[in-house]
Every structure is written in C-alpha cells, then in structure tokens.
Structure 1
C-alpha cells in the first residue's frame, strides 16, 4: 500500500510539473519576461561592478566622492530618462494594440513619432541644459565640494551619452511592444560588457590608458550608448522584424498617433516628473547627512536596483501581453496575463528579499571596506527587504495598467506615495527625529505600500480593460 501511495504522489508531482510548462499563459509570460529580466539584472550587475570599481579607488576620500558624484548625477539624469520612458510607455502600449488588432502597418510610423518627439522635445534640450548648468544642478542636488570637484566632467559627458540612450530606449520600447525582447537583451549585454572593460581601462589607467577616475567611467558609459544605438538602428533598418524603420520613406505626423501618445504618455510623464521631483527632494535630505552616509545610501540604491528588475521585467511583459490581448478584444486573457506576471515576478522578488535581509553586510563589502558605510548600508538593506513584496506587485500591476493605456491611477498613487508620504516622512524621520539613513528608508517602505494600495485597487475594478485608443 505504501508503494502504491508513493507512486501516486510521484505521478501527481509529474502532472503538476507538466501542467506548469503546458500552461500557455505562463509560457507567454516567461518567453517575453526572461530576456528582459536577464538584460536588466545583468545591466544592474554591470552597474554594480562600475560602482565597485569607483569604490576601490586607492584614495578613500576620492572613492567616496566619486561614488557620491555618480549618485548625484544619476538623479537629474533619471528625470530625463523617466520622461522619455513615459513617452515610450505610450509607444509600447500602441505597438502592442496594433499588433493584436492586425494593424502592423501603423507600427513603423508609431516608432518614428516616438523617436522624433523624444529627441526634439526632451533628449537634446535636456542634454544642452545639463551641460551648461552642471555646477548649479549638482550644487542644488546637495553635492559637497569634493563631490563637485570629482564629478563635474562626469556629469557633462553622461549628458552627451543621454541623447543616444534616448534613441535606444525608443527602439527597445517598440520591440518589447511586439514581444521581441531577445534583441534588446543581446545588444545591451554586449555594450555593458564593453562598458565594464572601458571603465577598467579609463578609471585605473590600465594598458597605457590615462588614469581618469570617475571621468573615465563617464567616457566609457557614453561610448557604450553610442555603440548600442548603432546596433539597434542596424537591426530595425534591415527590416527583419515587424518593427521596421525605412529612412527613405517620407515622414508625416499622424494626429491619431499624437492623440494616443498624449492620452497615454501625458499622465505617465506627469507621474515620472512627480516621482523624480520626490526622489530629488528625498536625495537632498539624505545628502545632508554627509558624503560617507550618502555613499552608503548610493550603494544601497545600487544593490536595490537588482530587486527592481523582476518587477520591471514582468511589468514590461504585462504591458506587452495586456496591450496585445486588448487589441484582439480578449479581455479575460488580458487579466490572466496580468495576474500571472504578478505571481511569478513576486516569487522572484521575495527570494531576493531574503538575500538582502540575511547577507546585507557581505554585499556591501563588495563595494567598500569603510566600517561606517557597511554599517549604514546593511541596515538600509534590511528595510529594503521588507519593501520587496509591495514594490514588485506595484511595478507589475502598474505595467499591466500602462499596457492597457490606463496611466492615470499609477500617477495618483505615485503623487500620494512619493510626494505626500516619502518626502514628508523622510524629513520627519531624518531631520526631526534624527534616525539617519534608516529613517530615510523607513519612509521609502511606507511610500511603496501606499503606491501598491492605489494600483491594486484600480486593477481590482477591471475598468482598465475598456480604455480605448485610436
């Protein structure tokens, strides 16, 4: 009897395993999400290696100033990137819808609109402003004198690379809209690998190259963005994908595409402005704790970047699959995709949370041997671990809503969570109660919970299934 029971249990396990891989919803989600997840995780890993290289500069004061300079530069840079990404949200949703409704002929003109609007309205003007007002921006961000001295030229060089980075994001967004996620993954992995090599050569001056420190890291990053642009352009111009780019074909503005981009992209843009404004104010609060504490904060953020990736990857998968399903008028399928992406992404994020909670000091030691940095960043990582379930679920469900073109409620959640909760609580916890870096990250925890509440409540209503585009 025991033998028969054991065989039955074994058969049940095999049946469940087979069902897992035969479930078409899971298969579709994993097929789109895994290349994005690999790309984002390895990009974050390469970014971590960059930060480790700077943190290992022999002069400890210069190392801390270099790490802080990268962190301060990233904040205004992320404002620009987030605005471009918001425009790309509309592009991804539209490309997915057009694919689902068999209107593939509209995909190329959508891509051209996104690229031109990104360049002319955002990337080029913001790049020029960043180069001209470098010192003013870094001072406003709370840079100490040593950070400004170390990072001035890094900032200017990164703003040049920003123009090419915006083009890369637009093409990648269109490719992800049709579920073609492997090409951006392969290209980004190649250029990130080249970036790490370039950093090693230009930061430390290996093989006869000049020893440029953090400025060398900026040159390597900008060149990597240029190379990625060349690869992506070559791919879409060759016409091997549904996403094509015929540069000989005359371009005409399409009022319906502009309408859709404004309808979907405007709330997403405002959301990103709110988010980045809130984060900027938050960073100013943390920067006031001094260069060493800010370096610990930046290392915590760098490690946290790893935990963003499952949510972002499965959020992108949700956008593509939800948009495509709604384009084909398959409403229940769209909801199934959203739920499945959240389920898988949340499992991965929970696993990462356990690592952050129990192995924080070991992770931080990869960046720095400074006891003060290790102590503060390790404590921050424990709080980050508690953030994970809400952060991942919020990212993924918001991705599904954006794929449907429903970008208003993620905006409301971000406004309340970041501006009304994170900034206010960070000021109270850090400046009034004196809780230091731990207080700042406690504010982040409450912010993520509030944003999750708004997005989850909107998803439960099901009204996002009926958003129309032209």
Structure 2
C-alpha cells in the first residue's frame, strides 16, 4: 500500500520544478497558460539578474571604501555612477525599445522580424554610445568637478571615471542584449550573463585594487578595470548565445545592414524611453550635487553609500517589474489585451510584497549594512539617515516601476517620459532645493524629497494605466 504524497511535498516539488524551468535559459511563449506561472517564470531570473547588477556597485564600494583615501574614493565611485546613469539611460531606453518590439513580434509568431529588430537595436546603440563615451573620457576631470567633487577628489578619481566611461560600450551592450533576450522570453540568459560578469568582477576587484604577487595595486583605478573587464566577459557570453543559432533570435550579417523602417520604428520607441530615463538620471545627478554642496565630502559619501544600498534592494524589484514589459508586449502581439492587463496587476501584487519586506529589513538592519562599507562615523550617520528616509517610500517605488514597465512593454514610452518630467524636474528637484536650501535642512531635505516625489509618480502612473491609452499603441 503506497502513501499519498503530502500537500507540502507536492508544493515543494512544484516550486522546485518552477525554479528549475525559470533558470533553464529557453525562450517561452507567455501568451497562454497560467498567468501566475508566467509572471514567476520571468520574475525569478529577472530578479536574480538585477541582484547581480546591484552587486557591481556594492563590490566596488566595499573595496574602495577601505583604501587610504576612503572618503574621496567612495565619493568618486558614487559620482561616477551618477554620471554613468546617462549611459544607463540610453542603454535602458534602447533595451526597452528592443524588448517591446521583439516581444510584440514573438507574440505575433514572427521570429525573423524579431531577430532583425534586435540586430538593428544593437547597431543604433553602438552609434549612440560612441559619441557620448568619447566626450566623457576627454572631460572626465571637469565632470567630477561639475558634480561637486573637491579638487583632490576630482584628481584622484579621473583615471577611474575615464576607464568607466571609455569602456561604457560594454554597459550598453550588456543592457541591450539582455533586453533582446527578455523580449524573446528568455530571461535566464540575461540573468546568467550578469552572474558571469559579477563573478569576474568579484575576483578581479581585490586583485587589481590591492595587488597580488606580480599584479600591481592599482587602487581606485583597479575597481574600474575590474568592473569593465567583468562586464566585457558578460557581453561575450551573451554574444555566444546570440550566434549559436539555438534560440528564437537568429544572427545574420544581413540583419546588421541599416533598415530605415525598422530603425525608425525603434527610434520612435527608444527616443522617449531614453529621455524618460535621462530625465530621472539628471534628477539624481542634481540631487547628488545638492548633497555634495550642502553636506560636504562626508555628506556626499554617506548619501552615495545609502543610495548604493537602496539600489541593492530596489534592483531586484526592477527585475520583477521587467516581467510586466515582456508579458504586456507578447500578449498585445497575440491580441489578448485582458491577459496583458491582468499580468500587470499580478506583477504589482508580488512587487508590493517584496518591497514591504525590503523596507522592514532596512529599518531593522540598515545600520549594520552601512558598517560594512565604511568606518567613518560621520559617513555612517549621513548614510543611516538617508537610507531610513528613502526606504519609507519603497512600496510606492515598486508600484511606479511596474506601471512604467507596463507602458514601455506596450511601446508607449512617451507616457512614462511625461510622468518622469513632471515628477522629477517640476516636483522633486524644486522640493529638494527648497527643503535643503530655503528651509536649511541640508542633505536631509534631499532625502525627504525622494520618497515624496516617487509616491506621486506611482499614483500618476496607476491612474494613467487605468485610462488605457497603452492598449492602442502600434509598434
């Protein structure tokens, strides 16, 4: 006589099977079947992917924070990351365009058109990045000074920012190719490329920063070298899976020849998407500069430390929200508007649970995390205050991310751009300036302005999503 399996055993088996399938690295059709299963199959590798992206900044921050000029080094890493957000904006904007078009073509069951769209996106991204990276490399020192860094910090950080900006093409390709894979429903490849890049970075960071045997100690510059090499290895892994011919997306040389209609279609989606993220990035750059001028080097280093920790918790949520983009794109391609809408609400439900959990963890243990990155008490004090204030809006951050990714997945990149313009430039920046300067709150005023503005953006995004213009977008 056999004993029937217990419910807990069945649940564990289903969870394990779901986890295994999500990590296999195969393109999937998300236009049918269980919606909950579809969200989780995409969300698991996407969250793990973004966890790895957040580890990049934390690894650099940890090692450079223990250098002789720790305060200046932390500030340089933070300010450089703020400048790199311009590159990230272009990369994410192009990635969103690629995801939207590739997902729509996959939903329409047209893999050739999906492949052509992906290759044309790569061509456009390389062109965009070339001009920006060259200019940033030439004016590296001036950029750091413009961001509010002291003369000493700017001089110390020049080699770091030159390497990071000069090698920014790998950042661009890492984001973009992952967007192509996500549009095709293969989030696992995107995740694995970040894991490989991060493992390389974790190994190379201590070697190149501190030196070992015949390897000299490059200090702060070594952190930039390690990160750039690590990301380059991740891109090579992506390229291998693009050209091996086993997936939906195929690579042919003819697909790289400029195709006017396809390029214009991508540019039409990518341009507002790029501005969407540039608007947000410029806001963060202004806030970083405002903290640096009102709080000095210690205030700036504390803010940058808190920001890196906050992003560590938020990037997995961004990965989860990316699931909405793929699901909306594929289901609109399959002409199933109701399923596209339902996928957004289910993703929002999961992200609220995650963000609420992250908020509690930060409130209880944020000071412990901060202590890993610096021994300077003044930096710790600023970082703890910034982290607690900014984390108070986590649930609204999550809702806003899902709504924005839903618009982007539908190809409606203009709506989030306007939401960001009003939310960041016409509300967050003036509020931060008033609180920090006029009301003499200093850096604290900047910290307060962040969750207040993000809450407004989340509410606006939800109301516009309910209005439903995104359902009519053609890509």
Q: 1:31 aligns with which of 31, 41, 66?
A: 41
Aligned partners of 2:269, 2:255: CA distance in 1, in Å? 26
Alpha carbons 1:179, 1:317 under 8 Å: kept:
no
Structure 1 position 236, deviation (Å): 0.6
Q: Which runs of 5+ in 1 are unaligned?
A: 1-9
Aligned partners of 1:380, 1:341: CA distance in 2, in Å? 28
2:379 is matched with which residue?
Answer: 373
1:256 aligns with 2:261: yes
1:416 aligns with 2:422: yes
Matches within 5 A, 1:41-190: 41-57=51-67, 59=68, 62-120=69-127, 122-190=128-196
Structure 1 position 260, deviation (Å): 2.3
Alpha carbons 1:37, 1:309 under 8 Å: kept:
yes
Alpha carbons 1:161, 1:221 under 8 Å: kept:
no
1:201 is matched with which residue?
Answer: 207
Aligned partners of 1:466, 1:217: CA distance in 2, in Å? 46
Partner deviation per Cα, 1:420-467 (whole Å, 9 max, x = no partner)? 122111111112222232221100011101111221111111221121
Alpha carbons 1:368, 1:374 under 8 Å: kept:
yes
Structure 1 position 17, deviation (Å): 9.9
SS for the counterpart of 2:213 is helix
Aligned partners of 2:13, 2:340: CA distance in 1, in Å? 23
Aligned partners of 1:154, 1:109: CA distance in 2, in Å? 36
Structure 1 position 34, deviation (Å): 0.7
1:297 aligns with 2:303: yes
Matches within 5 A, 1:187-266: 187-247=193-253, 249=254, 251-266=256-271
Alpha carbons 1:416, 1:450 under 8 Å: kept:
no
Aligned partners of 1:385, 1:86: CA distance in 2, in Å? 26
Structure 1 position 46, deviation (Å): 4.2
1:3 is matched with which residue?
Answer: none
1:280 aligns with 2:280: no
Aligned partners of 2:174, 2:391: CA distance in 1, in Å? 31
Aligned partners of 1:44, 1:302: CA distance in 2, in Å? 8
SS for the counterpart of 1:345 is helix
Alpha carbons 1:307, 1:388 under 8 Å: kept:
no
Matches within 5 A, 1:423-438: 423-438=429-444
Task: Tell me how large the CA RMSD over aligned residues is.
Answer: 2.1
Count matched residues. 454
Alpha carbons 2:49, 2:316 under 8 Å: kept:
no
Distance 1:340 1:17, change over 3 A: farther
Alpha carbons 1:139, 1:148 under 8 Å: kept:
yes
Q: Which runs of 5+ in 2 are unaligned?
A: 1-5, 19-32
Alpha carbons 1:160, 1:222 under 8 Å: kept:
no
Aligned partners of 2:338, 2:14: CA distance in 1, in Å? 20
Aligned partners of 1:84, 1:17: CA distance in 2, in Å? 38
Q: Structure 1 length normalisation: TM-score? A: 0.92
Alpha carbons 1:281, 1:423 under 8 Å: kept:
yes
Structure 1 position 226, deviation (Å): 2.0
SS for the counterpart of 2:248 is coil
SS for the counterpart of 1:416 is helix
Distance 1:16 1:226, change over 3 A: closer
Alpha carbons 2:52, 2:194 under 8 Å: kept:
no
Structure 1 position 225, deviation (Å): 2.2
2:272 is matched with which residue?
Answer: 267
Aligned partners of 2:10, 2:141: CA distance in 1, in Å? 63
Structure 1 position 277, deviation (Å): 2.0
SS for the counterpart of 1:394 is helix
Partner deviation per Cα, 1:164-204 (whole Å, 9 max, x = no partner)? 22122221110010110111211211221111111101111
Q: Structure 2 length normalisation: TM-score? A: 0.91
1:353 is matched with which residue?
Answer: 359
Distance 1:198 1:251, change over 3 A: closer
Matches within 5 A, 1:385-424: 385-424=391-430
Structure 1 position 401, deviation (Å): 1.1
Structure 1 position 16, deviation (Å): 10
Distance 1:88 1:46, change over 3 A: closer
Aligned partners of 1:165, 1:252: CA distance in 2, in Å? 23
Structure 1 position 18, deviation (Å): 11
Aligned partners of 2:14, 2:176: CA distance in 1, in Å? 37
2:457 is matched with which residue?
Answer: 451
Aligned partners of 1:164, 1:134: CA distance in 2, in Å? 18
Structure 1 position 15, deviation (Å): 11
